[in-house]
C-alpha cells in the first residue's frame, strides 16, 4: 500500500522463527509471523494469538492511532507497561494483522543447519 506522501506498508506471511522474551520468560514464540514493513519504521513481526501467552498479559488503558494501520490496543506485564500491541480493527489495507500481537522486542532465531 502506498499513500500520496510515498508512505508504504506491506504485510506478508513470514517463515522466520521469532520469539519475545521478558525477564527470562518466553511470552511468545512463532514460526508463522506476519512481517510488516513500513516506511521509516523497523520491521515488525505480528504473531498469531495462539502463539502468544496472553494469560501473562494485562490489558492496558493505552490506545494509539496510526493513520495507516488504525487504532492499537496495548497490554502490559508487571514492570513493563505497554509491552505489546494489536490492532483489533485495522484498516482494510493491513487487515491481515487483525488481532495479531506485536512486541517491541522480538528476536529472530536463526535456522540451525
The pTM (predicted TM-score) of the whole model is 0.90
Domain presence at residue 4: no
pLDDT digits (tens, 9 = 90+) for 63-108: 999 999 999 999 999 889 999 999 999 999 999 999 999 998 888 8
**Strand, helix or coil for residue 42:** coil
User: What local confidence, expressed as pLDDT, does residue 6 receive?
Assistant: 77
**Could you tell me if 30 and 14 are in contact, meaning their C-beta atoms sit under 8 angstroms apart?**
no
Question: What pairing do the DSSP bridges indicate for beta strands 58-66 and 17-22?
Answer: unpaired
Secondary structure (H, E, C), 68-113: CCEEEEEEEECCEEEEEEEECCCCHHHHHHECCEEECCCEEECCCC
pLDDT score, position 2: 46
Q: Which domain holds residue 20?
A: 9-109
CATH number, position 81: 2.170.150.40
Mean pLDDT of 50-61: 96
Position 103 in a domain: yes
Chain segment 24-49, per-residue pLDDT in tens: 999 999 999 999 999 999 999 999 99
Number of domains comprising the chain: 1
Amino acid at each position: 500500500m502506498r499513500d500520496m506522501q510515498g508512505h508504504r506498508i506491506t504485510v506478508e506471511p513470514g517463515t522466520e522463527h521469532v520469539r519475545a522474551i521478558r525477564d527470562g520468560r518466553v511470552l511468545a514464540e512463532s514460526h508463522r509471523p506476519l512481517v510488516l514493513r513500513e516506511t521509516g519504521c523497523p520491521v515488525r513481526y505480528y504473531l498469531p494469538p495462539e502463539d502468544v501467552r496472553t494469560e501473562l498479559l494485562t490489558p492496558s488503558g493505552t490506545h494509539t492511532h496510526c493513520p495507516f494501520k488504525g487504532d492499537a490496543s496495548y497490554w502490559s506485564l508487571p514492570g513493563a507497561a505497554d509491552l505489546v500491541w494489536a490492532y483489533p480493527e485495522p484498516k482494510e489495507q493491513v487487515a491481515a494483522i487483525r488481532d495479531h500481537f506485536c512486541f517491541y522486542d522480538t528476536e529472530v532465531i536463526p535456522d540451525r543447519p
